[in-house]
Structure 1
Amino acid sequence: MLTKRNVFLFYKPTNEIEEKIKPFKELLVQYNYRLVSNYKEAHIIVSIGGDGAFLQALRKTEFQQEALYLGVNNGDHLGFYTDFSLNDLTSIDEALKNENVEIRQYPAIEVTINDEKPFYCFNECSIRSNVIRTFVVDVFIDDIFFERFRGDGLIVSTPTGSTAYNKSVGGAVVDPRLKAIQLTEISSLNNNEFRTLGSPLILSGNSSMKLSVVQDGNDYPIIGADNEALSIRHCHDVKIKLADIKIKMLKLKDNSFFQRVQKTFLNKN
Structure 2
Amino acid sequence: MNNRKNVFFYYAKSDELEEKLSPVFEHVEKSGFSIVKEAKDANIVVSVGGDGEFLQAVRHTEFSQDCLYVGMTKEDEAGLYCDFQLDRYVDMIHAMKDEAIEVRRFPVVDVTINGESTFHFLNEATIRSAIIKTIVMDVYIDEAHFERFRGDGLIVATPTGSTGYNKSTTGAVIDPKIPCFQVSELASINNNRYRTLGSSFILNQDRTLRIEVIQDGNDYPIIGLDNEAYSIRNIKSITIKLSDKRIKTVKLKNNSFWDRVKRTFL
Change (3 A) 1:108 1:98: closer
1:45 deviates by 0.6
1:78 deviates by 5.0
Unaligned runs of 5+ in 1: none
Aligned pairs for 1:63-212 (under 5 A) are: 63-92=63-92, 95=95, 101-212=101-212
Change (3 A) 1:66 1:90: closer
1:231 deviates by 2.5
1:197 deviates by 0.5
SS at match of 2:102: strand
AA matched with 1:241: K
1:76 deviates by 4.0
SS at match of 2:212: strand
SS at match of 1:87: helix
Partner of 1:10: 10
1:130 deviates by 2.1
Residues 100 and 253 in structure 1, CA contact (< 8 A), matched pair in contact too: no
Residues 76 and 87 in structure 1, CA contact (< 8 A), matched pair in contact too: no
Aligned pairs for 1:20-59 (under 5 A) are: 20-59=20-59
Residues 211 and 237 in structure 1, CA contact (< 8 A), matched pair in contact too: yes
Residues 100 and 252 in structure 1, CA contact (< 8 A), matched pair in contact too: no
Change (3 A) 1:208 1:97: closer
**Residues 133-153 of structure 1, C-alpha deviation per residue, up to 9 Å, x if partnerless?**
211000011111110001100
1:94 deviates by 5.4
When normalised by structure 2's length, the TM-score is: 0.95
Unaligned runs of 5+ in 2: none
SS at match of 1:175: coil
When normalised by structure 1's length, the TM-score is: 0.94
SS at match of 2:83: strand
Change (3 A) 1:120 1:3: same
Partner of 1:259: 259
State the distance in 2 between where 1:46 and 1:62 align: 14
Residues 1:239 and 2:257 are matched in the alignment: no
Q: Percent identity?
A: 52
AA matched with 2:92: I
1:220 deviates by 2.4
1:253 deviates by 1.4
Change (3 A) 1:245 1:58: same
RMSD across aligned positions (CA) = 1.6
**Residues 55-107 of structure 1, C-alpha deviation per residue, up to 9 Å, x if partnerless?**
00011110100100001112244510111121223443554577785111110
Partner of 1:19: 19
State the distance in 2 between where 1:96 and 1:117 align: 36
State the distance in 1 between where 2:265 and 2:73 align: 19
AA matched with 2:75: G
1:183 deviates by 0.7
Select between 255-264 and 6-15 the one with higher mean Cα deviation: 6-15
